[in-house]
Structure 1
Amino acid sequence: MTLTSGTVVVAVAERLRAAGCVFAEDEARLLLEAAGTPEEVAGLVERRAAGEPLEHLLGWAEFCGLRVAVDPGVFVPRRRTELLVREAVALAQPGTVVVDVCCGSGAVGAAVAASVGGIELHAVDVDAAAVHCALRNVAAAGGRVYQGDLDAPLPRALLGGVGVLMANAPYVPTGELGTMPPEARLHEPVAALDGGADGLDVQRRVVAAARRWLAPDGSLLLETSRRQAAQTAAAVAAAGLVPRVSRSDELDATVVVGRRP
């Protein structure tokens, strides 16, 4: 009997379903494909049942049709962030300088580069593990990755020349971290989740830095939540940018776009 036989898939799916995995059959097939031996299967299944993110166990996440490398301890890209990609793709063209701060695995930048050929891509994250992933994910697009706090490590030569500056900065209020699913709050870096008392501390810092990097008519793109969108847009306007709120009910996603006039 092979690891991917119907009987084995059913048995693994039953174990995952009992642990609360909603898409148990799909996850069972993916874990079985990733394992080489019955012992590896058993180990992966028990780790998933204990709450480890599926993407960390597989070593990749599906995002915007791409298979993006995601190592343990790195923020897992969410489907809602595809709206951020869509907005960036609509603004970018070959030759556009695109900067992704708080880049995590580099999934957003890699997806934009896959849709718009010839962009100049730069990505930044403060976390070493995230930078390691991002280096792999943006390499095919010729992108560069820097480790540091927000815009601090970016080349000064980019000042005033960035066409698209995008950020999926953390926006969960500190007091709400405990309500997040265990696979996020226990297995992803707190720095990628915690946005401070009202969730907007890091966003405000990105907004404050944005104008000096943006080219004329360049745009800042920030993922946020529906309930925080008005505050995010107000911060963008206060920085001298023209705000626009984009919403996708399909993705349950909200992005604030701020254009430099």
Structure 2
Amino acid sequence: TGRRLVMVDAEPRACALARLNAAQVEEDVEVREGRFDAVLDPAERFALVVADPPWVPSQRVAEFPEDPVWAIDGGIDGLEVARRCVRTASRHLAADGRVLLQLGSVEQVEVLDHTCETSGLEVLAVREAGEGGSRGVLALLGPEAWTGPRPHEG
């Protein structure tokens, strides 16, 4: 597309791997290390924000012993980081931009809907991954004023 890709992660090892991958392509890729709500310039706008925040409720992280706790712990209801993602993305989204957000369940998307509304975004589509949503869900968010056709749900 010719657009610049900005990748953000708070984990140094993830950033190091992202930089190694970015060096293999000819695209304009920048990797920033730190919290996403702290490393973006206030004036930056993006056509697409892809976010995969930790979404496992804190009391359930022991169910996933193979995953580092810092990578999966989403707070009490699993949505602490996702809420921050939505609020931050809404401030950095181009006028007709979209947010693609990975969460654990349709129910989490429904709970997050209030944060979307207060951030000027709405849930445009939700798609379950895996059999019966066994691998999470993807939620497509966009500005409330969007009047174009809605993406297919399912």
Same-fold status (TM-score > 0.5): yes
Which category describes the TM-score, using the shorter chain as reference length? 0.7 to 0.9
Q: Measure how far apart 1:257 and its partner are.
A: 1.7
Listed as ranges, the gaps of 5+ residues in structure 2 are 146-154
Residue pairs, 1:90-239, within 5 angstroms: 94=1, 118-139=2-23, 140=25, 141-158=27-44, 161-180=45-64, 182-184=65-67, 188=68, 190-226=69-105, 227-239=107-119
Q: TM-score, normalised by structure 2?
A: 0.80
Distance 1:249 1:123, change over 3 A: closer
Alpha carbons 2:129, 2:138 under 8 Å: kept? no
**Higher RCO (C-alpha 8 Å, min separation 6):** 2
As a proportion of its length, which structure holds more strand? 2
State how far apart, in whole Å, the 2-side matches of 1:124 and 1:225 are. Answer: 21
Q: List per-residue Cα deviations over 1:202-239 (Å, max 9, x = no partner).
A: 01111111222111011122111223121123321221
Q: Choose from 138, 141, 150 the match for 1:258.
A: 141
Q: Which runs of 4+ in 1 moved over 2 A?
A: 154-157, 248-253
Q: Measure how far apart 1:248 and its partner are.
A: 3.2
Calculate percent identity across the aligned residue pairs. Answer: 32
State how far apart, in whole Å, the 2-side matches of 1:249 and 1:202 are. Answer: 20
As a proportion of its length, which structure holds more helix? 1
Q: Measure how far apart 1:196 and its partner are.
A: 0.3
Listed as ranges, the gaps of 5+ residues in structure 1 are 1-93, 95-117
Aligned length: 138
Alpha carbons 1:219, 1:259 under 8 Å: kept? yes
1:113 match: none
State how far apart, in whole Å, the 1-side matches of 2:129 and 2:35 are. Answer: 32
Alpha carbons 1:243, 1:259 under 8 Å: kept? yes
Alpha carbons 1:125, 1:148 under 8 Å: kept? yes
1:243 match: 123
Residue 126 of structure 2 aligns to a residue in which SS?
strand
CA RMSD of aligned residues (A): 1.8
Residue 49 of structure 2 aligns to a residue in which SS?
strand
Tell me which structure has the larger Cα radius of gyration. Answer: 1
